[in-house]
Amino acid sequence: MDLLIPYAAPYFAYVFFSSVLHDKLPEEIIYTIKLVIVPGLLIWAWKWYIPLTGPKNKWISCLWGIVFGIIGLVVWCGSYTPFTNPEDGAPWSDLGFILRLLTAGFVVPVFEELFMRGFVFRVALQWDLLRRQKTPKAFSAALDKASIFDVAPGQWTVYAIVISTIIFAAGHIVAEWPAAIAYGVLMALLWIFRKDLISCIVAHGVTNIGLALYVYYFGHWELW
């Protein structure tokens, strides 16, 4: 439970600024605030985070991250496009686009993968294992007694994939749920395959940057 705040704070700070300040301040100011506050929270909480690298070569993991990021971009666009209306999208200002690109490409992947695949996935896994062992109050035991640092790189259960994916999808608008579910499963598979978070962070960043560039150059602002 002590680790919940360090892992969740950047995520919920980002959500807070998106929801509370939306329509109250220009997007340029909102994203400037995000670019200052959220990385600051990440720096503050870094000592509590699990290692980003695992037993496999980190540079190879980065390459696999790029591959999965491109796949993820195709999956996201293919799963989300049917639920969008091209008339709903409006171009951002150049400054707003750059600020959002920086946030989506280099900040969001770090805190979202740390929280979803680094914390939620591991707690769900430990709850599942304790549940199978018929441990009383398995969820409380997973939060208060087990340590996410005890999870082996790449360790997984079906429940861990499902729960982390559902929570990941819940952080998106309803129209994005099919895409978010597919993407959550893809990132879980990458974690299992590469046994590290660096590959997931790189993949997430590549997908977000790729989506931003696709939206900007082809005018599909409804996807962003």
Helices (H), the chain: 4-20, 27-45, 58-80, 94-106, 108-113, 121-132, 138-144, 158-170, 177-194, 198-218
Cβ(194)–Cβ(54) below 8 Å: yes
State pLDDT tens for residues 159-203.
Answer: 999 999 999 999 999 999 999 999 999 999 999 999 999 999 999
Given a contact cutoff of 8 angstroms between Cβ atoms, the answer to whether 46 and 145 are in contact is no
What are the residue boundaries of the structural domains of the chain, listed by start? 4-223
* The model's pTM: 0.95
- How do residues 58-93 score in pLDDT, each as one tens digit? 999 999 999 999 999 999 999 999 999 888 888 999
Phi, psi of 34 (to 5 degrees): -60, -40
Q: Which two tokens stand for residue 88?
A: 């709903």
Rounded distance between C-alpha atoms, residue 164 and residue 123, angstroms: 9
Give 20-38 pLDDT, tens digit per residue: 887 788 999 999 999 999 9
